[in-house]
Structure 1
Amino acid sequence: MARDQPAWYEDIVVPALLRHARGTYAAAMRRALDEAGYDDIPENGLYVIGGLAGDASDVPLGRLVQELRISKQAAGQLVDTLVTRGYLTREGDPVDRRKLVITLTERGLDAADVQGAARDRIDADLHARIGDSGLRALKRGLAALVEIGRKDREST
């Protein structure tokens, strides 16, 4: 590339870059899961399995619905699918019988490990390309976007 030409990404809007960057992770995780025999996880299932694996405690279904920003019906169908396919268990909350708590099964934990390893490979490649300071700056920028989104949701 000539010095006077901008980098390929300079003229691309941030939402498009974010979409494609997210796609890099999703494709790597999906490919790794498929190769390991976990080819029956629905699209939002990656988020659920990855999120549950990163959480130290059981997750209430209501929180899952809120984080996915999908309807309760869609979340229920997603959980039903993941339960049927052996990735999750669903039980009543012992404290509040109106709530359901979902947890990963052994199959779900194994899939989460595969998914996490694929994410780690992308993270390592990214770190090799942009270094510590670049990664900190990227995270700072993404966190700012998250905070903007939270502020906007709170004001509506």
Structure 2
Amino acid sequence: MPDEPAIQIPLPALLRHARHTYGAAMRAALAEGGYDDIPGNGLYVIGALALGEAPLSQIIRELRVSKQAAGQLVDALVLRGYLDRQVDPADRRRLTVTLTERGRAAADIQIAARMAIDAELAAWVGAEKIRHAREVLAALIDIGRSGEPGSD
């Protein structure tokens, strides 16, 4: 059960530390599996591509990094064998980026680590509290998006 004094900690600090719990578990599992060369934001890119619901441009936009930093990140993931970059046959001006077999394996390890943390969390607080937390976090995301350009 979480410490009661944690309830007094500002929400941004709690979010940062909670994110670290997932990130540390994923990084440890990936290192154990031989995938210890994924750059910082690479976990997010690989995980998001594994879900298959968003184009790379949206994933990069959500990272809120410069185009140069995004390009360097994708280059590193391609060079390290996690992503494959090809010219889009339907539009030769565009590139498509997909997970390689190595990238898919890393994504599977990430998912398993996330699920292990989710299960431990459920054992600590129960499914209903997790559902409420998801609702609160989704609302917080919506608040942030409502202030972004083009969100009207």
Give me the TM-score of the superposition, normalised by structure 1: 0.89
Question: Match of 1:13, as an amino acid?
Answer: P
Give 5+ residue unaligned stretches, structure 1.
Answer: 1-5
Cα gap change, 1:100/1:63 in structure 2, threshold over 3 Å: closer, same or farther?
farther
Q: What SS does structure 2 have at the residue aligned with 1:95? A: coil
1:44-99 superposed Cα distances (whole Å, 9 cap, x missing partner): 0000111111116xx64422321211111111100100000000001122233222
Ranges of 4+ aligned residues in structure 1 off by more than 3 Å: none
- Percent identical across equivalent pairs? 59
Bigger radius of gyration among the two:
1
Counterpart-to-counterpart distance in 1, 2:96 and 2:58: 10
Give 5+ residue unaligned stretches, structure 2.
Answer: none
1:5-52 superposed Cα distances (whole Å, 9 cap, x missing partner): x81212200000000000000000000001110010000000011111
Q: What SS does structure 2 have at the residue aligned with 1:17? A: helix
**C-alpha contact 2:49 2:99 (8 A) present in aligned 1:** yes
- Tell me which residue corresponds to 2:123: 128
1:72 aligns with 2:67: yes
Question: Match of 2:69, as an amino acid?
Answer: A
Q: Alignment length, in residue pairs?
A: 149
1:13 aligns with 2:10: yes
- Tell me which residue corresponds to 1:37: 34
CA RMSD, 1 decimal: 1.7
Deviates most, 34-43 or 89-98: 89-98
- Tell me which residue corresponds to 1:93: 88
Give me the TM-score of the superposition, normalised by structure 2: 0.91
Deviates most, 103-112 or 47-56: 47-56
- Tell me which residue corresponds to 2:99: 104
1:82 aligns with 2:77: yes
- Tell me which residue corresponds to 1:147: 142
Q: What SS does structure 1 have at the residue aligned with 2:6? A: coil
